[in-house]
Chain A
């Protein structure tokens, strides 16, 4: 099971690429799982912004192939943005054609919507690649007493056609045999021009009583109708949707806390073990604080990513996600976005990086760009520890006030995102809007294997895209805080700690003129520098600066330290105004290199990376200044 992370549609070695293509909801995942035994590796193909699942397998007869699960598409020819699902699928197919690499197409087609799926078949037939058509949902047709016959399709299309029930394990042999025969066929000459078949006529020829809708089909439709009557009800529908979303947040939050505690414990324990061989010197400190601490931070976020992915996958494959989009479209439209934008915007409340990848479901390129640009404003879970620390430090003993402010910070992020989206749609991303056309599939029970696969993929992707960056930033930050700045020894007071003489401290001091209006001194600036790469590092950095080594474990002592710190003249160093300003700063600033890397990957431009950095920091400064003035007027100190 070798797998490489490069090469795009071109694959080294001798394996033939087998590209699975099909409309969304056609049953492509089930066919992929059946064919590959559920095995999936995430390929990060350059030039393609979306991770495409791939698995290597050996066909009967010993032929090696690589099966690639392309995103679900309605059409390859009618595409707009190369970054969307359709664009990705198209660039894969065109890539293998252009390179002349050995490849074959397998179209997964929902037999219960045969005529509609044949539109894509027509496009695939125009490509000089062997094509196999796999009809799914035969059981649904059989259930309705409508016999399916593949012969008329074979005759008209001139390619092999098979019908399977992919949820039945015995279908694997059929699929493997058909793919083996297809691969053996080799490159097919371009289809003869007499492909003048009519999709609707072909459907009538292939399916007996194609036009009749029998009692069972009506019952199935009636079940979806009944559920829709409740779930899309003008009042009950939005209420249920809100309830589901709140429940999802609660689940993510409820798991986040114990998970990070458990990991903190494990990291501390590991730290003690590692301190033995490495000692307490610079090297030991680097390994324990710099590397191990960073790894713990990464792992602490994994459970939330997995829960959110599982929930989204369940909602999606059950058919509810499209209903959610239907319900919120009216509201989001007022802000220049469409109903489907809620999917990435919800994901961003766990982490912006998978959310940016999730924007590929948006077909409108301008809407997609707008959503990418505002996603960093939504409150991701990496902000939670900082919010918790600052609320505990500056609003001590007032649990209800802390809770209200916490919710207010979430709402502030959400409100900022939609308002900025509205402004962007009238300036940077203005232009024609694509109309909304969104398929609302029948409700069905999700495939647990597909859900498990999605979770595994999301976890691996998170460690790769976010974990590595956090680790690297943690290491750099460690160096900034432990290596003395050149010449600092002469200028600083003799009793100054090593920390105060570090490169980090002198950087923090040089930023003071900019941050003084907000009430931030060099210590907070060092925290901001530390969290520029990854905001997860804020609490730990403030702890190190305040001389508390295990701040993550005892945030209350760090909170007390922040609240009671005095400057040389005996004045309180930080007031509640500083706390409010810092909280608001954190709502807006895009302190996350992983997010910026993801934006670069999706937009293929540094321009938008610079744009996000500039606008979020400018907004953060301005909003923090306003918040600080407002807090002063309210008499906070």
Chain B
């Protein structure tokens, strides 16, 4: 499943980044590498980005095109 298709408020873990090396290292620096835990909080209007909480405190706006290239594995229980 990709981050783009992850239901709102469903916890998940990044499994793989299907992007080139530059972008992958950029995402890792931001804390979005494989293993990062995340939750999609909401989607921006008119095809805007997803608001994604990464870890406990950091929140990012992530464009949908990129979200479609981030593979995630959903956890079972919903986020608090």
- B-binding residues in A (CB < 8 A): 74-75, 77-78, 80, 112-113, 115-116, 119-120, 211, 213, 217-218, 221, 224-225, 228, 232, 234, 237-238, 322, 325-331, 333, 338-339, 434-442
Contacts and interface: CB of A to CB of B under 8 A. Distances in A.
Contact of A113 (B47, B51, B57): B57
Contacts of B27: 437
A74 B57 contact: no
B29 A119 contact: yes
B34 interface: no
12 contacts: A113-B58, A116-B30, A116-B31, A119-B29, A119-B31, A217-B57, A329-B49, A330-B48, A331-B48, A333-B63, A339-B48, A440-B51
Most buried by A among B28, B32, B59: B59
A326 B26 contact: no
Given A74-B29, A326-B51, A435-B63, A221 B45 contact: no
B8 interface: no
A205 to B, nearest CB: 17
B44 to A, nearest CB: 5
Contacts of B45: 234, 237-238, 327, 330
Given A78-B26, A437-B66, A333 B47 contact: yes
Contacts of B48: 326-331, 333, 339
B59 A440 contact: yes
Contacts of A225: 41
A322 B46 contact: no
A436 B30 contact: no
A439 B47 contact: no
Interface in B56-78: 56-63, 65-66, 69
A75 B23 CA distance: 12
B36 to A, nearest CB: 10
A224 B27 CA distance: 24
A322, A325, A440 — most chain B CB neighbours (10 Å): A440
A105 B80 CA distance: 39
A116 B58 contact: yes
B42 A440 contact: no
Given A113-B57, A119-B28, A339-B49, A435 B44 contact: no
Given A339-B49, A440-B51, A326 B30 contact: no
Interface of B: 19, 22-23, 25-32, 41-42, 44-49, 51, 55-63, 65-66, 69, 80
Contacts of A120: 29
B57 A439 contact: no
A238 B28 CA distance: 31
Contacts of B62: 435-437
Contact of A440 (B22, B60, B65): B60
Given A228-B51, A326-B49, A339-B44, 18 more contacts: A74-B26, A75-B29, A113-B57, A232-B42, A237-B45, A326-B51, A329-B44, A329-B49, A330-B44, A330-B46, A338-B63, A435-B19, A435-B62, A437-B61, A437-B66, A439-B58, A439-B60, A439-B61
Nearest to B56: A213
Nearest to A116: B31
A507 to B, nearest CB: 49
A338 B29 CA distance: 21
Main secondary structure of the interface of B (DSSP, over half): mixed
A82 to B, nearest CB: 15
B66 to A, nearest CB: 3
Contacts of A435: 19, 23, 62-63, 65-66, 69
Contact of B63 (A113, A119, A436): A436
B23 to A, nearest CB: 7
A440 B61 CA distance: 7
A119 B30 CA distance: 8
Contacts of A116: 30-31, 55, 58
A211 B56 CA distance: 8
Given A75-B26, A330-B47, A115 B60 contact: no
Contacts of B44: 232, 326-327, 329-330, 339
A339 B56 CA distance: 25
B16 to A, nearest CB: 16
B56 to A, nearest CB: 5
A221 B26 contact: no
B25 A437 contact: no
B30 A74 contact: yes
Across chains A and B, which 4 residue pairs bring their CB atoms closest together, nearest first?
Answer: A330-B48, A435-B66, A330-B46, A436-B63
Contacts of A442: 57, 59
Contact of A221 (B31, B49, B57): B57
A131 to B, nearest CB: 18
A505 B18 CA distance: 64
Nearest to A232: B42
A438 B60 contact: yes
A207 B32 CA distance: 21
Nearest to A123: B29
Contacts of A224: 59
B41 A228 contact: yes
A293 to B, nearest CB: 47
A228 B46 CA distance: 17
Contacts of B47: 330, 333
A120 B23 CA distance: 16
Contacts of B31: 115-116, 119
B34 to A, nearest CB: 13
A439 B60 CA distance: 4
Nearest to B29: A75
Contacts of B30: 74, 116, 437, 439
Contacts of B66: 435-437
A190 B44 CA distance: 45
B53 to A, nearest CB: 9
Contact of B46 (A232, A331, A434): A331
